[in-house]
A and B are shown apart, each in its own frame.
Chain A
Amino acid sequence: MKRPAFLFAYLTAISIFECTILVKFRLFSVQPDMLLAAVIIFALVLPLKWVIILGCFSGFLLDLFSSNPLGFNTIIFCMLGFICKKIIKKLNIENNIVVLILVFILSFAAGVVRRSFEPGVSLWVFLKVGIIESLYTALIFPFMRRLFLAIA
């Protein structure tokens, strides 16, 4: 692992971007989950240990800026990074379309887990937010991947 400080700084920059500028680019009041996309990118290029560490850090940053209890998203992102790495290793995914489908499914799955802790959210709102968030995240994923590979 050559530049861990750069990766932590990269995730911090993404989280600040998500809290400030990205809110202006909401579609139907939903914005893409760039931290989740970043974790999936790490799962494609980094070893398992670093995927889990960076996944935890991503979740921690999300907990820092959101109103969820501290540790809620940390655990979700840690598990997400682990599952994603295992899937990529087992299936040996190289096709870009398959990667995008994986991004969509993982984003939707993360939404399911989060919704299970928010019973006040109706099914209709959950489907609307979950699907739009997953599609939007899958849409920006290729650009984030290219940017990361260019600067890393």
Chain B
Amino acid sequence: MIKLAKRKLIACLIVILCVLSLAGVVTPTRKILLLAFKFPLRLCNLAAEEFNAAIFYHRNYIQAKGLRKENELLKNQINSLNELYIENTRLKEILSLKQISPFQLAACKVIGRDPSNWASSIIVDKGRKDGIKKNQLVITAFGVAGKVTEVGLSVSKITLVNDPDFNIPAVVRRSRQEGMVSGMLQKSLTMRYIDYDADIIAGDTVVTSGFEGMYPKGIVIGRVIGFGRDATGLSRHAIIEPAVDVYRLEEVLVIIK
């Protein structure tokens, strides 16, 4: 009797030990087997989904229609929010420039552009009653945008920096080489009256010189990107890429004082 009980106890212990040892072996084995079954499982799942879609076609169709409508509404909302975000960023730039600028500035919104391709000007929504006067310099966060050429009571016309009639005395920031910057239509300016041995290279930044006291000095006009020879051959001119993209202006700042 006792021998039988002893045998049964030993057998149970052996079984328990086997199970415990197998647990340490089967777990990694199970992972391998599961990996092997992954593709068949996916295939069957796919078949089940197709079957579900076929059986519940009408329900799925109505659901998809509703989701599409909701998706469009959300897309419209995202678009409006994106616009607000971009406008917010732009206005923050202008506000920060107003706050740190030593000048008194009037922020103006662009309400129209010159329809002619042979001139470059914009119309803004501020005028005499906002302190704007003729020949005041117009800037953005990036640099010079133009100057005020006509002023009405509450609307003004601004000649942009790339207009052929726009001229402003300028200097190269690095070497203090002087010249006169004029517009050339499209997206380039020219700095004229530069000697052949003048210290000016591609990449130099050109700023307002403040000579004649008409415009404040040190405001960025653009960057030198190339050179050309004047018609007389006695001097050369520098081709300048304006700092301001005149074709994307939406708000500008007029320097009042």
* A95 CB within 8 Å of chain B: no
Q: Which residue of A lies closest to B118 (CB)?
A: A114
Interface residues on B, range: 20 to 34
Interchain CB contact under 8 A, B112 and A65: yes
A29 touches B119 (CB 8 A): no
Residues of A within 8 A of B (CB): 15-16, 18-20, 22-23, 26, 29-31, 33-35, 62, 65-68, 73, 111, 114-115, 118-122, 125, 128-129, 133
**A46 nearest CB across to chain B (Å):** 22
Kindly list the 3 A-B residue pairs having the minimum CB-CB distance in the complex, ordered from nearest: A18-B115, A120-B164, A67-B121
List 18 additional A-B contacts (Cβ < 8 Å) besides A125-B186, A133-B117: A19-B115, A29-B186, A31-B115, A35-B115, A65-B123, A66-B114, A66-B116, A66-B121, A67-B114, A67-B119, A67-B163, A114-B118, A115-B118, A119-B164, A121-B118, A121-B164, A128-B186, A129-B186
Q: How far is the CA of A68 from the CA of B114 in the complex (A)?
A: 10
A68 near B115 with CB under 8 A, answer: no
In the complex the two chains form, is B115's CB within 8 Å of A66's CB?
A: yes
Assess the A33–B117 pair: CB atoms within 8 A.
Answer: yes
Q: Contacts A20-B112, A120-B164: A66 and B119 contacting too (C-beta < 8 A)? A: yes
Contacts of A18 in B (CB 8 A): 115
Question: Could you say which residues of chain B place their CB within 8 Å of the CB of A119?
Answer: 164
For A18, A67, A125, A128, the residue with the greatest tally of chain B CB atoms inside 10 Å of its CB is A67
**Chain A residues whose CB sits within 8 angstroms of the CB of B120 once the complex forms:** 67
The answer, among B115, B184, B186, for a CB contact under 8 Å with A62, is B115
Say yes or no for B176: interface residue by CB 8 A criterion.
no
Assess whether B113 is in contact with A111, with CB atoms less than 8 Å apart. Answer: no
B118 interface neighbour in A15, A65, A118, A122, Cβ under 8 Å: A118
Nearest chain B CB to A27 CB, angstrom units: 11
Give the tally of cross-chain contacts (CB within 8 A).
80
In the complex, chain A residues whose CB is within 8 Å of the CB of B183: 120
- Of all chain A residues, which has the CB nearest B164? A120
Name B residues whose Cβ lies closer than 8 Å to a Cβ of A.
Answer: 111-121, 123, 149-150, 157, 159, 163-165, 182-187, 190, 247
Which of A16, A62, A65, A121 neighbours the largest number of chain B CB atoms within 10 Å of its CB? Answer: A65
Which single member of B113, B117, B149, B163 contacts A19 (CB below 8 Å)? B113
Which chain B residue shows the least CB distance to A17?
A: B115
29 contacts across the A-B interface (CB closer than 8 A): A18-B115, A19-B112, A19-B113, A20-B112, A23-B247, A26-B247, A29-B186, A29-B187, A30-B117, A33-B117, A35-B115, A65-B112, A65-B114, A66-B116, A66-B119, A67-B121, A67-B157, A68-B116, A73-B116, A111-B118, A115-B118, A119-B164, A120-B184, A120-B190, A121-B118, A121-B164, A125-B184, A129-B186, A133-B117
Distance, CA A89 to CA B157, complexed state (A): 40
Distance in Å from the Cβ of A146 to the closest Cβ of chain B?
22
